[in-house]
């Protein structure tokens, strides 16, 4: 779009990027700019400065708080009254304050959503307008997260998700939606945040802050303003521009979640034959933890089992006599699981090898039997993955184009010990299981009166959780769910705490009551959620604000930095948090916020000892799936919903949703095995898999 002769409205336009953008637009021929900002923002002086350069009647200042829906609406109406039309809306207002974060959510997210809807209502062709452009301010943190400001990151992710979900309506509205993602910029807001931890979450430590800041290069607000003008002139509908380090702005394209899948952990083993076999494969050092063969076998095994963060691992020259096993039991928690797996394979070998009480370990096994066992296991691996269930713990082994190295080694080895073989197939479990199990743990599950939350509670109890607190509204389904679970698992193991998670005082008090009743907490599952785009306030209050509040409460009670013992926080997001969801842009943005918040908060694990896990289910058979068209934004009508439902991708999902039980079991599996910071996709009743957000790349 040509800027010449256009009328522009800019929120937060009295200072910083907003002011520089107003000036740059006027320099490029804009007819007028409307600056909306707070009464103490120096807006009158900003207009005076613009009038000095461009003359009168090219800029006005309107007092308005974007967090106040009525004030923002009045400002839009006053702008149109003053200039007769609007062509461009730039939702720029924002603050950075993770310490007092609720006003930040109102401004950075709700202000953008309100400004966008008002822009569509005034400019959209579906409302009698002539079309136009809306530019929404996010941040590079909204593309990759940042431990300096997890909550700010969540709001920035939300803006990306919301705006991206609107691009499909261009034909109907005639309004291009664009996103600008600046890097660190020398504004008053950034200067305050970077100069003092008073604006940061209290768990941010000096070392993390210093490390992140050393990698940041700042740019001027004038540079960002030039990028915004270029975005308006050249950016296609839905374009995302990055402006950083005073370099030319560039467009980025967000990857599909299917491209972010993490491949199964692979472990390569080399074996010591009669002549001392040497390692045949050594993966790159930056991709795995290499265990050197210069240590004792006992040390190798202990380190391998305890290396829970390894991606891949090579064990060289492993051979271990069973005489050494008792020492291992005192140094790792893996032996009971390993022994159980050995015993579990007795049917495939020889039960007489084991004592009747199954308490002792067989001394050794012949090479012939060992080879037969391996061949049997390989036979099971005809499909892409070998899935082996032991106490409902899933073992995944990556397929290989070549014959497994162990078979080659067995042809030359004189003999192998049975323990070595089962170490190979259970080491992956030992590495990936961080919490081991959920037995005797205590948990809180919000929104557990029905749906996914109910089944998560049920599966936790089935897996041995000591006590679970159901936090939900005081309605019949919540009481019924509690009674059902108490009858099944015992009244002492299930407690119901009537709670409105959007009520700060009530939620704080309930959390305190649970901690007191359970004498601590190990697991929090932030599951409560709704899908109602017509109620922006409620959607964000439940889906985002309650998730943040619950996470912060849990960190205060169980975080090691506060004297706790650590634990696990599970945030239920959605596949809608990983890409656009055109039917429900507000819901989509709320789930983007959860993903962004979790992916930034996970880097505090060393300090807090609290794992952060994010679950992203696809279409699931719950009450939420029965969506009412009245809950959509007004420009999303029945015809569009019908169009969406007829697309191949939607038909595969909405008419064949996965079960809530599958999502629940996958969530509990992630609690047992998930690495800190992992994001899990659960879709179509298929095994859940982790993904990793990648750095943004130029389109």
Residues contacting 591, CB < 8 A, separation 6+: 161, 543, 573, 574, 576, 577, 581, 616
CA–CA distance, 352 with 493 (Å, rounded to integer): 40
CA–CA distance, 692 with 694 (Å, rounded to integer): 6
Question: Which of 646, 655, 589, 651 lies closest to 625 in space, CA to CA?
Answer: 655
Could you tell me if 10 and 61 are in contact, meaning their C-beta atoms sit under 8 angstroms apart?
Answer: no
CA–CA distance, 172 with 635 (Å, rounded to integer): 8
CA–CA distance, 59 with 7 (Å, rounded to integer): 10
Q: Name the phi and psi angles at 658, rounded to 5.
A: -80, 165
Q: Indicate the SS3 state at residue 116.
A: helix
Other Cβ atoms less than 10 A from the Cβ of 213: the count is 11
182 backbone φψ class: left, alpha, beta (φ>0; ψ -120 to 50)? beta
Which of 193, 199, 587, 696 is labelled catalytic?
587
CA–CA distance, 179 with 407 (Å, rounded to integer): 55
3-state secondary structure 146-211: CCCCHHHHHHHHHHHHHHHHHHHHHHHHCEEEEEEEECCECCHHHHHHHHCHHHCCCCCCHHHHHH
Could you tell me if 164 and 154 are in contact, meaning their C-beta atoms sit under 8 angstroms apart?
Answer: no
Question: Which of 610, 609, 542 lies closest to 570 in space, CA to CA?
Answer: 610
Enumerate the H helices of 334-474 as residue ranges.
335-344, 367-379, 405-412, 418-432, 451-462
CA–CA distance, 369 with 345 (Å, rounded to integer): 13
Q: Indicate the SS3 state at residue 289.
A: strand
Give catalytic status of residue 507 as yes or no.
no
Sequential DSSP letters for 222-286: HHHHHHHHHHHHHPPTT-EEEE-TTPPPEEE-PPPGGGGBPPPPEEEE----TT-PPPS----GG
Q: Name the phi and psi angles at 399, rounded to 5.
A: -70, 160
H/E element holding 327?
helix 325-329
CA–CA distance, 458 with 139 (Å, rounded to integer): 40
Beta strand 132-137 pairing with 88-91: parallel
Residues with active-site annotation: 587
């Amino acid at each position: 779009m040509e800027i010449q002769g256009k009328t522009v409205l800019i929120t937060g336009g009295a200072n910083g990027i907003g002011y520089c953008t107003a000036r740059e637009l006027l320099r490029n021929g804009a007819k007028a700019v409307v600056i909306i900002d707070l009464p103490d923002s120096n807006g009158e002086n900003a207009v005076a400065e613009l009038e000095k350069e461009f003359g009168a009647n090219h800029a006005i200042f309107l007092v308005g708080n974007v967090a106040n829906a009525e004030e923002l609406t009045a400002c839009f109406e006053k702008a149109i009254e003053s200039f007769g039309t609007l062509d461009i809306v730039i939702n720029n207002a924002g603050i950075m304050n993770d310490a007092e974060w609720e006003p930040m959510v109102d401004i950075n997210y709700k202000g953008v959503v309100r400004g966008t809807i008002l822009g569509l209502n005034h400019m959209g062709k579906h409302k009698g307008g002539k079309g136009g452009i809306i530019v929404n301010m996010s941040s590079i943190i909204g593309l990759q997260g940042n431990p300096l400001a997890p909550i700010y990151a969540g709001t920035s992710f939300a803006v990306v998700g919301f705006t991206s979900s609107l691009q499909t309506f261009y034909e109907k509205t005639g309004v291009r939606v664009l996103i600008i993602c600046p890097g660190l910029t020398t504004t008053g807001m950034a200067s305050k945040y970077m100069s003092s931890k008073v604006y940061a979450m209290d768990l941010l430590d000096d070392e993390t802050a210093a490390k992140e800041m050393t990698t940041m290069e700042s740019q001027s607000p004038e540079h960002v303003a030039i990028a915004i003008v270029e975005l308006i002139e050249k950016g296609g509908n839905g374009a995302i521009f990055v402006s950083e380090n005073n370099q030319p702005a560039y467009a980025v394209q967000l990857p599909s979640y299917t491209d972010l899948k993490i491949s199964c952990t692979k472990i390569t083993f080399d074996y010591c034959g009669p002549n001392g076999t040497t390692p045949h494969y050594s993966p790159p050092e930056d991709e795995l933890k290499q265990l050197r063969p210069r240590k004792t076998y006992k040390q190798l095994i202990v380190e391998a089992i305890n290396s829970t963060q390894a991606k891949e691992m090579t064990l060289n020259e492993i051979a271990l006599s069973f005489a050494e096993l008792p020492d291992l039991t005192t140094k790792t928690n893996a032996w009971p699981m390993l022994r159980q797996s050995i015993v579990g394979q007795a049917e495939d070998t020889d039960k007489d090898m084991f004592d009747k009480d199954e308490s002792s370990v067989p001394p050794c096994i012949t090479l012939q039997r060992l080879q037969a066992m391996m061949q049997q296991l390989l036979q099971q691996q005809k499909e892409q993955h070998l899935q082996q269930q032991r106490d409902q713990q899933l073992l995944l082994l990556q397929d290989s184009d070549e014959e497994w190295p162990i078979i080659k080694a067995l042809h030359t080895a004189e003999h192998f010990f049975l323990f070595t073989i089962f170490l190979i197939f259970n080491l992956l479990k030992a590495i990936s299981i961080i919490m081991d199990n959920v037995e005797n743990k205590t948990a809180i599950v919000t929104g557990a009166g029905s749906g996914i939350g109910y089944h998560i509670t049920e599966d936790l109890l089935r897996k041995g959780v000591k006590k679970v607190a159901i936090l939900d509204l005081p309605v019949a389904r919540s009481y019924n769910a509690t009674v059902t679970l108490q009858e099944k698992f015992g009244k002492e193991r299930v407690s119901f705490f009537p709670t409105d998670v959007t009520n700060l005082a009530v939620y704080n008090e309930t959390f305190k009551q649970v901690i007191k009743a359970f004498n601590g907490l190990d697991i929090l599952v932030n599951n409560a959620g709704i899908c109602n785009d017509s109620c922006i306030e409620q959607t964000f209050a439940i889906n985002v604000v309650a998730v943040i509040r619950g996470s912060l409460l849990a960190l205060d009670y169980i975080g090691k930095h506060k004297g706790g013992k650590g634990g696990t926080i599970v945030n239920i997001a959605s596949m809608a948090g990983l890409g656009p969801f055109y039917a429900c842009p507000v819901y989509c943005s709320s789930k983007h916020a959860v993903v962004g918040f979790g992916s930034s908060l996970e880097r505090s694990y060393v300090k807090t000892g609290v794992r952060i896990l994010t679950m992203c289910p696809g279409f699931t058979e719950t009450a939420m799936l029965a969506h009412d068209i009245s809950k959509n934004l007004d420009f999303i009508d029945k015809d569009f919903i019908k169009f969406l439902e007829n697309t191949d991708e939607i038909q595969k999902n909405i008419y064949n949703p996965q079960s809530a039980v599958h999502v629940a079991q996958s969530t509990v599996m992630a609690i047992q095995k998930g690495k800190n910071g992992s994001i899990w996709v659960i879709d179509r009743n298929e095994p859940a898999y982790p993904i990793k957000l990648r750095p943004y790349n130029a389109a």
